[in-house]
Structure 1
């Protein structure tokens, strides 16, 4: 099973069925907070919905298509982050993430995304990491910006989000740029 230490307070663990109740409760408790920016919240109204998400995540992990982990902060599951999609042929991955409302503003997600980016380049041997964020989601956009990802453009009306389309801002990081940042001590 995949477990990865981020720092003394945080580690990532491959999501599994033992996490079902906690992930569901976290979603339920943060519903209005999450609903503003993620479309799947309205499809998650029962423990069974979360169980199905985890089963699909495990299947996709076994097939090397994606990897979803729970974020464990001070021994408590506080969110989900991982690689939404791998493109092994082109050595590319897309990172996605969400955090329970009461855990925002602590720097948790910046540390997690930094670690996932490093993992993509150093262990998975990928060349590019991408993050797509709804244009108006300033807190989520701040994460790749803080980590030095390049803003590469805007995909207009990329997602149908509760009765309206939202644009996605695309951020990218190349392996050579990340390794240079690490060497400079800025990553």
Structure 2
């Protein structure tokens, strides 16, 4: 299965069904950390829910419509990053990511995002990447800023987490902005 080494400690790997127990454990141990931002958190109640998620990501990958990869740090799954979809006609995608609580503050999302951005622009030849971060999710917004995304506005009530509708800061990154930056 596809694996991409980011540095000595960190790699990306497409998720397989064998990863479901570790993925579920990561979610379960980080539930309070993830709950404010991740609409799927409370619906992930058992390993079979992680298996269903992984199966859906495998189908998405097989259909050339995005993918999800595990972020692995020192041999442990630390989080997930991926493209929600790929709009081939308009040559764009949307990136999303999350980390288990014990893996935050290590630069893992920024490192993994750089690899996916390069993949989107160099391999897929896309022209744009979108990123949505809840208005109150300052950590995710900081990642977008570090990567050179441009804040394009706020979409009201764009993300439902539980019974709460959150406003979402919309960011965009164009291929030429990334190419000129690196």
> TM-score normalized by structure 1?
0.95
What is the distance in 1 between the residues matched to 2:10 and 2:127?
A: 25
Alignment partner of 1:34 is 2:25? no
- Any residues of structure 2 matched to 1:105-184 within 5 Å, and which? 105-182=105-182
User: How far 1:51 sits from its partner (Å)?
Assistant: 0.4
The unaligned stretches of length 5 or more in structure 1 are: 183-187
**Number of aligned positions between the proteins:** 182
What secondary structure sits across from 1:45 in the alignment?
A: coil
Which runs of structure 1 show a deviation greater than 2 angstroms over 4 or more consecutive aligned residues?
Answer: none
User: In the alignment, is residue 75 of structure 1 matched against residue 75 of structure 2?
Assistant: yes
| Residue in structure 2 matched with residue 63 of structure 1 by the alignment | 63
Worse overlay, 27-36 or 113-122: 113-122
Partner of 2:48: 48
Partner secondary structure for residue 39 of structure 1: coil
Unmatched 5+ stretches in structure 2: none
Deviation of 1:4 (Å) = 1.6
Which deviations, in whole Å up to 9, do the C-alpha atoms of 1:99-127 show, x marking residues without a partner?
A: 00000011111111111111111111111
How far apart, in 1, do the equivalents of 2:116 and 2:2 lie? Answer: 13
Name the CA distance, whole Å, in 2 between partners of 1:57 and 1:138. 27
Query: Secondary structure of 1:96's partner?
Result: strand
The separation in 2 between residues aligned to 1:67 and 1:163, in whole angstroms, is: 28
Question: Could you tell me how far 1:2 is from its partner in structure 2?
Answer: 2.1
Q: Per the alignment, in what secondary structure is the counterpart of residue 105 of structure 2? A: coil
